[in-house]
A and B are shown apart, each in its own frame.
Chain A
Amino acid sequence: GESVGLHLPTLSVQEGDNSIINCAYSNSASDYFIWYKQESGKGPQFIIDIRSNMDKRQGQRVTVLLNKTVKHLSLQIAATQPGDSAVYFCAENIVGTYKYIFGTGTRLKVLA
């Protein structure tokens, strides 16, 4: 089975509730951020991104919030569904460079 992520922090939410997953990024010069979803045994899947000139960006059932003052990123998932169960991690980048810094992730468990 998938051994990556055995010791990740876990967020358990009831189906239908909203989920909030947090990420502290490391480089104050980073100006582009991505949230990825990784299901067991699969590769990371792009969810949503945001540039540093924005504080908030919305997608379908997902919202990303960026607080540059405290170097904090959050992912909000509305009406969480069983299919949302996965590991979520953030990535930061300086636009124009090839270096990404990836977080270790949070495991989201959706309870029926």
Chain B
Amino acid sequence: NAGVTQTPKFQVLKTGQSMTLQCAQDMNHNSMYWYRQDPGMGLRLIYYSASEGTTDKGEVPNGYNVSRLNKREFSLRLESAAPSQTSVYFCASSPGLGLTDTQYFGPGTRLTVL
């Protein structure tokens, strides 16, 4: 039982390049999330998917797109990377039952945009 997995672990991009961050969970969770973590700031929500087939914007969605491919997988795409998107990206999942909905996190992707 791997929990939440993310690929790649590290990535360096040049400004304007595109890439997709992959996330998968094996806990049969309904909800999945993408966060970014920057120095001196708490985790900030980029996008979330409450259930398979739905996605919604979070606090900082500009410059990103997401796809909930199936119940297990939730990807984050940067169409034209900018230096301001240099950050550590975390995927999380939760049961999504509308009760106390604990989020469980992946190991993160460390992205640098030059």
- Report A's interface with B, CB cutoff 8 A: 3-8, 32, 34, 36, 41-46, 49, 51, 89, 91, 93, 95-96, 98-105
Contact = CB atoms under 8 A, between A and B. Distances in A.
Interface of B: 4, 31, 33, 37-45, 48, 50, 56, 88, 90, 98-108
Nearest to B44: A102
Given A4-B88, A43-B4, A99 B45 contact: yes
A102 B107 CA distance: 17
Contact of A34 (B38, B45, B102): B102
A102 B42 contact: yes
B106 A43 contact: yes
Given A4-B38, A32-B101, A100-B103, 7 more contacts: A41-B108, A89-B42, A91-B103, A98-B50, A100-B43, A103-B42, A105-B42
Contact of A45 (B41, B101, B105): B105
Closest 7 CB pairs of A and B: A102-B42, A43-B105, A102-B43, A44-B105, A43-B107, A43-B108, A96-B98
